[in-house]
Chain A
Amino acid sequence: MRRLNRGTRARVNLTLNGRKVSGEAEARMLLSDFLRQVLGATGTHVGCEHGVCGCCTVLLDGAAVRSCLTLAVEVEGRAVTTVEALADGSGKLNALQQAFQSNHALQCGFCTPGILMSFTDFLGRNPDPSEAEVVEVLSGHLCRCTGYAGIVSAVLEAAGGRKRLP
């Protein structure tokens, strides 16, 4: 059994974007704060902190979850993937990010990292989604700039583009 008393910190080991990393966290530290403040992965944004806005969404063992509704200590030994993993080392955008750019699917960009992570999980499971399915997944995110239409187009384009690949 793992135990951690309040006011003390424990070392949390995890795989972040394919690399083994570790950092210290109190029991009450949220994964969103742990990523940003302890591990320096500031691509994950923090909005409402009660699971509504979706901008802190990351992948936990490949599944999209709210990092503000996850404790850092919960991810011990597990794999977390954040928006930093999407572009390659030279900064070249991946197909989904590229589709966001060409479809004007972002303006201020605050909500974008979470949306990208949700659709990274979703398109992995559903490579050929309908527009209704895309809208359903997008209902878990708030975007105050775009009116969502560009985001839906971008996701559909990324899915279609993927299909043309061998």
Chain B
Amino acid sequence: MKPRPFDYARPDSVEEALALLAEHGEEARVLAGGQTLIAMLNLRVVEPAILIDITRIAELDVIREADGKVEIGAAVTQSRLLAWPALASKLPLLAAALPSVGHFQTRNKGTVCGSIAHADPASEIPLALAVLGGEVVLRSQRGARVLAAAEFQRGILATARAGDELITAVRFPIVAGGAAFREVARRRGDFAIVGVAAVAERTGGIRIGVAGMVDRPAVSRINGALAIRDAIERLAWELEGYEDMHASARMRRDLLRRIGPVVVEEAIRCVA
């Protein structure tokens, strides 16, 4: 199918983009990589009055380090981050998870922030942001605000972004320690049925994040390497898992029980 007609604007600066968002609000959609949005336009799942193409705003096409975090601008593609030479040392979790985001061909255009904005409960980048305790930077003509990942993602495809706000960047903390990621999907590149990410800090703290069980990434702490299996068993029952055409809740709990301990143990091994 083809999209319904819409207006198109390609601002040259963040200020111009914010003016358009202030004018059109919920009627507008921000176009970055478009790897989900254009598919949704083609299927007429979304029918915006105007698309605001931010891909040529140079100040959004930036990866930079500041205050122990890596900030990734809204125009940075998943491929560009994957090719960033410092990725494996600064953000090993993303180095592990990004190859599972879509396909080679969609990562060339799809953006890191676009995946955060879309907020699919089974997707990898929101999971990584949640488990690392990252932040989302939002700007509007009213000002700027920074939200923790847990405050930003509110449910299935639902976020705290107001209609006039632009996600200008996301910030991933650089954690001293190990990280690991695994997912189970029907086919390579599909959304995960269940995805698990773990971070083991050098100071001893262990965090596990689970995607595909509830309406957003679920993050919890594990106290001590000995209690891993028990903690994941409790987590499986606590999250319960949802039922859809791909898997039953029981299958989701089982996948978490199987891949959860492997991922946590792998993260712990990476610390050493």
Contacts and interface: CB of A to CB of B under 8 A. Distances in A.
Interface stretch (B97-105, B118-126, B238-246): B97-105
Contacts of B108: 60, 63-65, 121
B109 A136 contact: no
Contacts of B5: 6-7, 26-28
Interface stretch (B33-41, B67-75, B131-139, B220-228): B33-41
B58 interface: no
A1 B9 contact: yes
Contacts of B43: 50
B109 A139 contact: no
Given A136-B104, A137-B104, A49 B8 contact: no
Nearest to A3: B9
A60 B109 contact: yes
Contacts, number: 109
* Size range of the chain A interface in the assembly: 35 or more
A6 B7 contact: yes
A137 B79 CA distance: 13
Given A1-B9, A3-B8, A49-B42, A65 B1 contact: no
A37 to B, nearest CB: 11
Q: Which of A60, A63, A66, A121 has the most CB of B within 10 A?
A: A66
A19 interface: no
Interface in B1-28: 1-12, 16
Contacts of B7: 3-6, 27
Interface string A112-143: 00000010011000000000000011011000
B99 A136 contact: yes
Contacts of B76: none
B6 A64 contact: no
Contact of A70 (B9, B12, B38): B38
Contacts of A26: 5
Interface in A49-93: 49-51, 54, 57, 60, 63-66, 68-71, 73-74
A65 B33 CA distance: 10
Given A6-B7, A71-B38, A27 B51 contact: yes
A86 to B, nearest CB: 17
B4 A28 contact: yes
Q: Which of A1, A7, A64 has the most CB of B within 10 A?
A: A1
Nearest to A140: B103
Contacts of A137: 103-104
Interface in A14-55: 26-28, 30, 33, 49-51, 54
A60 to B, nearest CB: 7
B175 to A, nearest CB: 27
B105 A64 contact: yes
B160 to A, nearest CB: 27
Nearest to A135: B188
Contacts of A69: 34-35, 38-39, 106, 109
A21 B187 CA distance: 38
Closest 10 CB pairs of A and B: A140-B103, A27-B8, A6-B5, A139-B188, A50-B39, A2-B10, A63-B108, A69-B38, A28-B3, A4-B8
12 contacts: A4-B9, A6-B5, A28-B3, A50-B39, A54-B103, A57-B105, A64-B105, A66-B109, A68-B38, A71-B8, A137-B104, A139-B187
